[in-house]
Amino acid sequence: MVVHIGSYNFSTTDSSLSSSILSTDASTLRDPPAPQSPGGLSRAGHTVVAVCLGFILVAGILSNLLVLLIFAKFRSLWTPINLILLNISLSDILVCAFGTPFSFAASLHGRWLIGEEGCKWYGFANSLFGIVSLVSLSALSYERYTTVLHSTEVDVSDFRKAWFCIRRLLALLSPLDRATIPGLE
């Protein structure tokens, strides 16, 4: 059997495949539409979500890359508090790189594409980077709070608070490393 798709010819010698399964109609070669669940989105709904996720993906990566480039170019910005902002930007770009593309692709196709293991990775990555952002925002909020309370004692070059926040973050993530990486005990 020979199937003609555009300028490509595909052939098989397996006679058990009927010609009704393999069709030359281009519309049947696409993924079938997702079955409509009672509370699910329509095709138009999936398209709207895909457009929003695509915008978030592009805007998130570009804006956070801009932040990273500015930090790399101007070393005077490397203050303890700005390092926490850098950490937030880095975790946001990682969410855009490891989380949003899966949701975007699923919305384009109207169904989840990467199976159960991909779902676990998606949940893990978004949770991890989300927790990093939340802890960093909490540290930044605490630092702003103490600065407002003790505004006469501010020392921009004091890295103690930033290192304290980084150690707290690593302490929070250390059980996660032991649980997810085999052989670590």
Q: Nearest Cα to 80, choosing from 176, 162, 180?
A: 162
Q: Judge if 128 and 169 occupy the same domain.
A: yes
pLDDT tens-digit profile of 151-165?
665 555 566 766 676
Q: Is the pLDDT of residue 147 over 60?
A: yes
Burial 153-164 (b: 16+ CB within 10 A, else e): eeeeeeeebbee
- Exposed, middle or buried: residue 173 (CB in 10 Å: 0-12, 13-18, 19+)? middle
Q: Judge if 8 and 72 occupy the same domain.
A: no
Q: Which one has a higher pLDDT value, 139 or 182?
A: 139
Question: Residue 89: its pLDDT value, please?
Answer: 93
Residue 179 near residue 173, CB atoms below 8 Å: no
How many independent structural domains does the chain possess? 2
Could you give phi then psi for residue 126, rounded to 5 degrees? -65, -40
Q: Judge if 5 and 88 occupy the same domain.
A: no
Q: Which residues contact 119 (CB under 8 A, 6 or more apart)?
A: 112
Task: Quickly state the pLDDT bin for 138 (edges 50, 70, 90).
Answer: confident
The CA distance from 153 to 162, in Å, is 16
Establish if 37 belongs to a structural domain: no
Q: Is the pLDDT of residue 120 over 70?
A: yes
Establish if 50 belongs to a structural domain: yes
Question: Residue 90: its pLDDT value, please?
Answer: 92
pTM, 2 dp: 0.61
Q: Which one has a higher pLDDT value, 114 or 184?
A: 114
Q: Nearest Cα to 31, choosing from 99, 103, 105, 100?
A: 105
Residue 53 near residue 100, CB atoms below 8 Å: yes
Question: Residue 82: its pLDDT value, please?
Answer: 87
pLDDT tens-digit profile of 23-52?
445 554 455 555 555 567 888 889 999 999
The CA distance from 37 to 98, in Å, is 27
Q: Judge if 85 and 114 occupy the same domain.
A: yes
**Residue 2, beta-bridge partner list:** 11
Supply the mean pLDDT for the chain.
Answer: 75
Establish if 35 belongs to a structural domain: no
Establish if 6 belongs to a structural domain: yes
Establish if 38 belongs to a structural domain: no
DSSP code per residue over 22-57: S---GGGGSPPPPP--TT---HHHHHHHHHHHHHHH
Q: Judge if 166 and 123 occupy the same domain.
A: yes
Question: Residue 14: its pLDDT value, please?
Answer: 46
Find the domain containing 24 and state its range: 1-30
Mean pLDDT, residues 100-109 taken together = 91
Residue 90 near residue 68, CB atoms below 8 Å: yes
CATH number at residue 147: 1.20.1070.10
